């Protein structure tokens, strides 16, 4: 039976490190500042955004939330980002995705100053990650958090290990693959056009599932002893809990996979809590860089 990787605990450890470093910075007269921008009324996005703002307050940050109406013009949104770029009290800017259809999300992201892009989505940060310039990059929060969970199990040097990342999104799959490569894994990115995905997954010492399809990775796709990181958060009907009830599952069939894996993340309580923790870490790092202070290591 696999070890269950406790993402909640690791996230709490990260946040504790952030709080300590934040107090140190505040004592020097620099309060880390995070601005979160949301456009529209999507209920799931509203929940994510308010938990990000709330966690920032807990960390002692200057936390600002801009909630804009669905029909906000692109020009107004770009102007707000321009103001936040110029505001010395703000070290991190996060524009919650998805944005309404009339707004060019790519343009919005590229308008954020790279040194405040705590999501790590700007081309400058994507390029730095791709070329191994990790000391000055911002790495997207979900893959960065997943990497910390892998390190807890396997250590920092993953030399000789085969990693398979299922999913090729810009937010998770591609940056995850780059992080694993930087840690010396042999990396394969699989996706919907991959041939014989089960056989490929069985080669993985580290298997990361980030596709957004409930329980798509079956237990017998998992190599004995593998480290399994499940990035998926899917809500499915759970009639066994009562009429109209639902429950969260990952992209991995957890119970079956746990029979083969050496270590596995649960859903919920695995990668999920790491995403917000790493947003706090990135914002803290940004404030440290702005203040010329060595940031803590996570
Ligand atoms: N929407 C879903 N995940 C994310 C994320 O990591 N960052 C932003 N900005 N929006 C998201």
| Structure confidence at residue 212 as a pLDDT band (50, 70, 90) | very high
The pLDDT score that the predictor gives to residue 102 is: 98
Q: For residue 100, is it left (φ>0), alpha (ψ between -120 and 50) or beta?
A: beta
Q: Which residue lies with its CA nearest to atom 9 of ligand 1?
A: 96
Q: Which residue lies with its CA nearest to atom 2 of ligand 1?
A: 97
Q: Which two tokens stand for residue 238?
A: 């759970």
pLDDT digits (tens, 9 = 90+) for 58-79: 999 999 999 999 999 999 999 9
Enter the CATH code of domain 28-122.
3.40.50.10860
pLDDT digits (tens, 9 = 90+) for 107-161: 999 999 999 999 999 999 999 999 999 999 999 999 999 999 999 999 999 999 9
- Atom index in ligand 1 nearest the CA of residue 279 equals 6
The pLDDT score that the predictor gives to residue 81 is: 98
The pLDDT score that the predictor gives to residue 85 is: 99
pLDDT more than 90, % of the chain? 100
Say whether 141-273 and 28-122 share the same fold: yes
Whole-angstrom distance, CA of residue 16 vs CA of residue 280: 10
Q: Which residue among 77, 81, 97 is best mutated to probe the pocket of ligand 1, counting the most ligand atoms within 8 A of its Cβ?
A: 97
CA distances from 49 to 21, 163, 179 (A): 23, 32, 26
Average pLDDT over residues 86-96: 98
Whole-angstrom distance, CA of residue 164 vs CA of residue 166: 6
| Structure confidence at residue 192 as a pLDDT band (50, 70, 90) | very high
Q: Report residues whose beta carbon is within 6 angstroms of any ligand 1 atom.
A: 94-97, 119, 141-142, 171
Greatest CA separation found in the chain?
56
Instruction: Give 250-280 as a DSSP string.
Output: -SB-HHHHHTT-SEE--SSSSSHHHHHHHHH
- Atom index in ligand 1 nearest the CA of residue 95 equals 9
pLDDT digits (tens, 9 = 90+) for 270-280: 999 999 999 99
C-alpha 172 – ligand 1 centre gap (Å): 10
Helix (H, G, I), strand (E, B) or coil at 18: helix
The pLDDT score that the predictor gives to residue 271 is: 98
| Structure confidence at residue 84 as a pLDDT band (50, 70, 90) | very high
C-alpha 166 – ligand 1 centre gap (Å): 19
Helix (H, G, I), strand (E, B) or coil at 140: coil
- Atom index in ligand 1 nearest the CA of residue 94 equals 9
The pLDDT score that the predictor gives to residue 78 is: 98
Which sequence spans correspond to the domains of the chain?
28-122, 141-273
Q: Please, what is the average pLDDT of the chain?
A: 98
C-alpha 97 – ligand 1 centre gap (Å): 5
Q: Which two tokens stand for residue 184?
A: 């010396």
C-alpha 171 – ligand 1 centre gap (Å): 8
pLDDT digits (tens, 9 = 90+) for 259-269: 999 999 999 99
The pLDDT score that the predictor gives to residue 269 is: 98
Second CATH level (architecture) for the domain 141-273:
3-Layer(aba) Sandwich (3.40)
């Amino acid at each position: 039976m696999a070890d269950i990787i406790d993402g909640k605990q690791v996230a709490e450890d990260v946040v504790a490190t952030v709080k300590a470093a934040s107090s140190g910075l505040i004592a020097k007269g620099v309060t880390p500042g995070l601005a979160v921008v949301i456009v529209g009324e999507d209920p799931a996005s509203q929940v994510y955004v308010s938990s990000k703002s709330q966690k920032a307050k807990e960390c002692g940050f200057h936390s600002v939330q801009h909630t804009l109406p669905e029909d906000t013009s692109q020009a107004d949104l770009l102007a707000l980002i321009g103001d936040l770029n110029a505001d010395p009290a703000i070290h991190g800017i996060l524009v919650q995705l998805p944005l309404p259809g009339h707004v060019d999300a790519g343009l919005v992201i590229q308008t954020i100053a790279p040194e405040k892009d705590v999501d790590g989505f700007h081309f400058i940060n994507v390029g730095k990650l791709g070329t191994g310039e990790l000391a000055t990059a911002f790495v997207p929060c979900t893959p960065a958090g997943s990497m910390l969970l892998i390190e807890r199990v396997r250590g920092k040097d993953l030399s000789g290990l085969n990693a398979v990342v299922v999913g090729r999104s810009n937010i998770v799959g591609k940056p995850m693959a780059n992080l694993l490569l930087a840690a010396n894994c042999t990396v394969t990115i699989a996706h919907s056009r991959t041939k014989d995905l089960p056989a490929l997954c069985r080669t993985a010492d580290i298997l990361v599932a980030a596709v957004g399809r409930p329980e798509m990775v079956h237990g017998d796709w998992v190599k004995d002893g593998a480290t399994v990181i499940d990035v998926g958060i899917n809500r499915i009907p759970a009639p066994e809990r009562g009429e109209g009830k639902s429950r969260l599952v990952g992209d991995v069939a957890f119970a079956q996979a746990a029979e083969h894996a050496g270590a596995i993340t649960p859903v919920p309580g695995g990668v999920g809590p790491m995403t917000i923790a790493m947003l706090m870490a990135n914002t803290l790092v940004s404030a440290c860089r702005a203040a010329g202070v060595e940031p803590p290591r996570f």
